[in-house]
Amino acid sequence: MAAAQPRSKDTFGLSLSLVGSIGLGTAIAISRIAYEAGANGLSIALPRAWLLVIFLVIFCAASGRRFHLSRRITLHCIGAGALMSYLFYGNIAAAEFIPAAVAALLFFIYPPLTTLLVAAIDKTAPPPLKVLATLIAFAGLALMLGVGFQELDWRGMALGLSAGCVCAIQLTWVARALSGNDPLITMTQMALVAAIVLTLAAFISDGPPMPVTITGWSAMLSAAALQAASIPLLYIALPLIGPERSAVANNIQPVATVLVAILLLGETLRAGQFIGAAMIIGGILLMQYSTHRSIRKRD
């Protein structure tokens, strides 16, 4: 009976991470419609941040959570929230300059970086199976999305890659420094910091451009709302399954981006991309197996 509880907790955390990743992937594809109507990355990132703050404050208040945190935890939230502001912007803004599927791939440099970062902090070599799982998932992404890097706008590449690097740092920071605290409370503080930073960026740049069509407005607000609803799921899952497994599970995000792009943007999916998607799922399952095996050895 005692073993069933951790397994149930693990399954719940993985489910949250997968659902949140699908929502984020869908939002990236939808953002392309908003960009074609005149919006930019900040046009989506800014309302996304404030919608997230509003959602979290209402939910925390309704569930009776206390917003007070210690000074040390608050400082960590401020630092992680500043990183979150760039994560909010860079991930979605990359799709303004390059195809949504390519933007998703570039961002997903963060799973192998997370594994390496955790290993460096712990001063231990990652288990071979975890390394293999990460490599399989990343190779699957490369195969599925079929990127031609020489044809890409450097601005989109820089935004996607840098957002992936920031994500690896931020996820590891949150998992290490904020573990044991209510993830919804800490996320509320981080989201508020991110929203303030993005608001300042909008003020300095004289405000983000707005879409010029109703379809563009619908896409912009839908992408912002989807991301605002999906991000809490990832941070709730983080302390349940850890940063490495969370990063690998999130590999489902570009799969969602490609599928939605097919339905909404008329993109095609080649046979090799189906194989790449299978490799991503295989990497997720292999990471799960590696973690469960490590737990059994410790027990």
Which amino acid, 238?
Answer: L
CA distance 76 to 186: 9
Along the 299 residues of the chain, how does pLDDT read in single tens digits? Answer: 444 445 677 778 888 888 888 998 899 989 999 999 999 999 999 999 999 999 899 988 988 888 888 999 999 999 999 999 999 899 899 989 987 877 877 787 777 778 778 888 888 877 788 788 878 877 877 776 564 555 667 888 889 889 989 988 998 898 888 888 888 899 899 999 999 999 999 999 888 899 999 999 999 999 999 988 887 787 778 777 776 677 667 777 877 887 887 787 776 656 766 787 678 777 777 876 776 676 566 65
Residue 2, pLDDT score: 44
Q: CA torsion, points 187, 188, 194, 197, in degrees to nearest 10? A: -150
CA distance 89 to 73: 24
Please, are residues 103 and 143 in contact by the beta-carbon 8 Å criterion?
A: no
Count CB-CB contacts under 10 A for residue 279: 21
Q: Does the model's pTM come out above 0.85?
A: no
Residue 3, pLDDT score: 46
Q: Where are the alpha helices (DSSP H) in 63-146?
A: 71-93, 100-107, 110-122, 128-145
Which amino acid, 167?
Answer: C
78-100 tens-digit pLDDT: 999 999 999 989 989 998 998 78
CA distance 122 to 267: 43
Please, are residues 259 and 294 in contact by the beta-carbon 8 Å criterion?
A: no
195-223 tens-digit pLDDT: 999 999 999 988 889 999 999 999 999 99
